[in-house]
Structure 1
Amino acid sequence: MNEASGLSILRELRSDRALAAMLGLGFSSGIPFLLVYATQSAWLSEAGVSIETLGLMAEMTLAYKFKFLWAPFLDRYDAPILSRLLGRRRGWIVVSQIGVALALAAVAFGDPGQRLAWTVLFSLALGFVGATQDTVIDGWRITVAPAERQSLMSSTAEIGWRVGNLAAGAGALYLADAFGWRAAYLAMAALMAPGVIAALAAPEPPSDLAPRRKPKSVGETIVEPIRDLTGRLGRMAFPVLLLIAGFRMPGYVSNAMAIPLFKELHYSNSDIATVTKLFGFWVGIGGTALAGVLTLRLGLMASLLIATVSASASHLALAYLAAHGDHGGGEFWLFATTVSIDSFAYAFASVVLITYMSSLVSTEHAASQYALMTSLCAFPGSLLAGASGFFIERTGFTWFFVGTSLIGVPVALLAFWVWRRHAISDLRAPDGAIP
């Protein structure tokens, strides 16, 4: 980023109240997810939780896969008390942020080595309120700014999210090494405060200021966004949705066992934080930038195919690490290089997928349909990830990561088939129709 563009962004943040709030809301959105399972898996490993149980614990993120079920209600119903004071969307944002902070504090006072049920219960609660926070922040972002500002709003949200994700990953791991896991989780609960302040300072979307519409029936509220999406996709609905469901499946299965692999290879929490979060932060920025350039130059569908292949192939680097990377001597740099390859490919693939899914939603149902597709994207991989520990017990880490790479082969073939029959020339027509 050059100096002129940096100054331009700073001017925008000073002059646009919604954009400044988006930075804080993106930060709070980036905190909960890793703390539900990924970062927490290091704590669980240290507590002596078995590898089979570790795999099953990946299911604690299921709320992020089912958020489409309650997303339509967050669009239509008020949060208790706070929506009357702040507006519907900001009210829900603050309620969910308070819920995240309380759930993090509850997890902090658990002991997975002695009371695993406590950790599971409040981690599930953390997943639910974290997924709700994501949904309502997306809804606020889409409705508070006009269409021509959405690209800038999304970029600002991504910057905030990455910083929050860095805090929940590297920050929590460093704190755990220095002060213990309870202090780390309590610190993460306190870090929700900037997001609450951002929500309180944020402007109300125009839709929240308009007279309230009579809520639809429960069934119609849930079904209408789905009916609209499948109706516009027509005969391509099944293959397109199948592609979305399979796109991140290899990554979800692989990610569930990444930190257990690193702990198996005797890397410390600080080593893991340095490589996956500090290196990974900048590597992810690089993958994000490349995705933006290639999507413009090669087209969305060609980039989608490249993303599918590269993301799955990157797991072969983890397989190599599993075979040759036990801690000691120069193996730290093998660790750093391997994880960087995987992180770069993951960031690239994620941005391309987000762009593709965004191209499919209609303006009227943007929040609900986007929640539906992100849930669909995450659900199959999350279920398969639950069995990952059992696979490793039988195959070992090396062949496990080779297997997750091969999962991407049929997904890549489907991406190519969809590309040939459903090429998209623009992100979204003004009326929400698929070009």
Structure 2
Amino acid sequence: RGWLLATQILLLVAIAAMGFLEPGTQLRWMAALAVVIAFCSASQDIVFDAWKTDVLPAEERGAGAAISVLGYRLGMLVSGGLALWLADKWLGWQGMYWLMAALLIPCIIATLLAPEPTDTIPVPKTLEQAVVAPLRDFFGRNNAWLILLLIVLYKLGDAFAMSLTTTFLIRGVGFDAGEVGVVNKTLGLLATIVGALYGGILMQRLSLFRALLIFGILQGASNAGYWLLSITDKHLYSMGAAVFFENLCGGMGTSAFVALLMTL
């Protein structure tokens, strides 16, 4: 929990500091702060994943994974489209950076109120204990390489299809960029959140293996909606349905995938 608090405080300071800089004349300082933010953000993700794995019992990890995906997606919405709109209409870029920094204050308070893990794990004293020993333990397990292959491939197809969605809808089907932006970014984000929460609920009743299998099949099948768009007449509601179903299934798969990582 201490590392989580440290990374959040550093993020608050670095993001707030960006509000005092002028990108046109202080680009190097902006770049340096961006590196600090990226490093602290990635570190916070790692620490948070470790914390929730230690705190949550096995039967609650599916729900915990769903809620963490929900928070991640809401963060993308706030720091993406909403931040751009607020910066353009109300706050300006300086005020927007300060608002983003202020949003970390509730996170810091939540960290201070969060429970410490009950399991006492000895602190690694050497690099070998911190890095080499865990890797040796993982690859010493039965079917370790199959587990690693599953981790690499489970979301690969879905992520690849998602990266091509905007280009396909605009160039392949012929929708306007504005239509695609509204449907793909807003409806798609909503569907991902709903899918993550629904996946977490279903995982209370399903084993992790069955959840991974069912949600993985749905992830693959959901891309058929884009194939239907390519062979039918262009219609906004059809695009909305395809985007919603694909992101819904993707959110469910993400919940199961995060729950899998928490068991390793």
Q: Same fold (TM over 0.5)?
A: yes
- Correspondence for 1:259: 166
1:147 CA drift (Å)? 3.7
CA distance in 2, matches of 1:146, 1:290: 19
In the alignment, which of 273, 278, 294 is matched to residue 186 of structure 2? Answer: 278
CA distance in 1, matches of 2:42, 2:249: 24
- Correspondence for 1:307: 215
- Correspondence for 2:107: 198
1:244 aligns with 2:151: yes
Distance 1:156 1:315, change over 3 A: closer
What is the CA deviation profile of residues 193-235 of structure 1, one whole-angstrom value per residue up to 9, with x for unaligned ones? 2223431452365469x9x97652223311222222233x32x
Q: Is the 8 A contact 2:7 2:41 kept in 1?
A: no
In the alignment, which of 233, 240, 244 is matched to residue 340 of structure 1? Answer: 244
Q: Is the 8 A contact 2:64 2:200 kept in 1?
A: no
Q: How does 1:60-71 map to 2 (within 5 A)?
A: none
Q: Is the 8 A contact 1:275 1:339 kept in 2?
A: yes
Distance 1:252 1:186, change over 3 A: farther
Distance 1:331 1:287, change over 3 A: same
What is the CA deviation profile of residues 234-281 of structure 1, one whole-angstrom value per residue up to 9, with x for unaligned ones? 2x1111211111111112222333334455445345x44542343234
1:332 CA drift (Å)? 2.4
Q: Is the 8 A contact 2:225 2:246 kept in 1?
A: yes
Distance 1:333 1:187, change over 3 A: farther
Q: Is the 8 A contact 1:304 1:349 kept in 2?
A: yes
Distance 1:353 1:204, change over 3 A: closer
Q: Is the 8 A contact 2:229 2:239 kept in 1?
A: yes
Q: Is the 8 A contact 1:172 1:185 kept in 2?
A: no
**Structure 1 unmatched runs, 5+:** 1-74, 76-86, 362-435
In the alignment, which of 111, 125, 128 is matched to residue 39 of structure 2? Answer: 128
- Correspondence for 1:90: 5
Distance 1:218 1:119, change over 3 A: same
RMSD over equivalenced CA pairs, Å: 4.3
TM-score (norm 2): 0.72
1:317 CA drift (Å)? 2.5
- Correspondence for 1:162: 73
Residue identity in the other structure for 2:162: N
Once the two structures are aligned, what percentage of the paired residues are identical?
Answer: 20
CA distance in 1, matches of 2:52, 2:184: 29
Distance 1:273 1:301, change over 3 A: same
Q: Is the 8 A contact 1:247 1:308 kept in 2?
A: yes
Distance 1:185 1:300, change over 3 A: farther
- Correspondence for 1:287: 195
**Structure 2 unmatched runs, 5+:** none
Distance 1:310 1:146, change over 3 A: closer
1:352 aligns with 2:256: yes
Q: Is the 8 A contact 1:286 1:344 kept in 2?
A: yes
Residue identity in the other structure for 1:350: T
Q: How does 1:22-421 map to 2 (within 5 A)?
A: 87-99=2-14, 109=23, 127-142=38-53, 145=55, 147=57, 151=61, 156-172=67-83, 174=85, 183=92, 187=96, 190-200=99-109, 202-203=112-113, 206=116, 215-231=124-140, 233-234=141-142, 236-262=143-169, 264=171, 265=174, 267-268=176-177, 271-272=179-180, 274-292=182-200, 294-321=202-229, 331-359=235-263, 361=264
